[in-house]
Structure 1
Amino acid sequence: MRLFQIDKAILLWGLINEEVLSLFKKEDLLGIPESRPYLYGLKNIFFLKNKDYNCFYLTDNMVGILFASGKIKSTYIFYKEKSDKGFLCPSGSLYVYLLSRLHNIEVNFFPQGELEKSLDKDASTLGGKPFVKKEDLKFVVLSQDELIGTNL
């Protein structure tokens, strides 16, 4: 899908929860970022396509462009844990939350779906296959969960 074809998409960040699907109509346009390093987007896109939802896959880097272009109408972030301090979410969630707030986009939080074992635990592998030399592993930045505080 090309940028000019996207109009007022709903951004889904994290591992989607099947119970939330009742909130969306089949004709809603759902934007599914890759969500590196876990690639939740790959799981999400196949799941949604199999249920005949209108969705498109995008790289994490494209998320900012969609916001800046006015292409996002609402954001759904799927969290791992909820506490009085806020929402514990997968890496990248704070970025998506702050972009949403910056562009006055509604943000909705929902518990994440069932987590399957991921082949990729950090940015040194893709599909479980290493592509970083062993001697360079010390330079790999590991993914960490992010707390989106209630005071933001």
Structure 2
Amino acid sequence: MLARFPLRTALLSGLFFATFLIAGCAHQTPAKGINDAENRLWTGRISLQIQSEPPQAFFAAFELKGQAEQGELTLTSPIGSVLGVMRWSPTEAVLESGRETRRFESVDALLEQTTGAAIPVTALFDWLAGKNTSLNGWAADLAQQAAGKISARRTNPAPQVDLRLVLDQ
């Protein structure tokens, strides 16, 4: 009977060690590149409110890749369906929405046409990188940028526009 006790202890110890080894291997580390200026990839939620007559509001999840000169923005509804994919380069900007593809002369024209407000793409990428750039009447509040929250407001020209981004953590 004494011979079984060390064997049982060894088996239980081995099982205990294997359990921790497997649990350690199963631990998922966060995906690299999410909400990272170095890898040029951000995900989160966007809110855009335009104080027009009548007022307009837009809410979506987003994935933004690239930079101001060339990139891609995918907008997804709260229920998970893709609302549209915007792609831009120095030569053109394209909106794919459902089966429809529309072309624009610039990303600025694309964003203004689709959202109803001229959102400054260059400033947006700066805000995501933590640089407080003011452009075309827009002013950003980056006080909570480290926590993944960015807000910006355009007061001039009218109508007033409020933009809020909440990045995935």
Give TM-score scaled by structure 1 length. Answer: 0.27
Give TM-score scaled by structure 2 length. Answer: 0.25
Greater relative contact order (Cα 8 A, min sep 6): structure 1 or 2?
1
Q: Which structure carries more strand by proportion?
A: 2
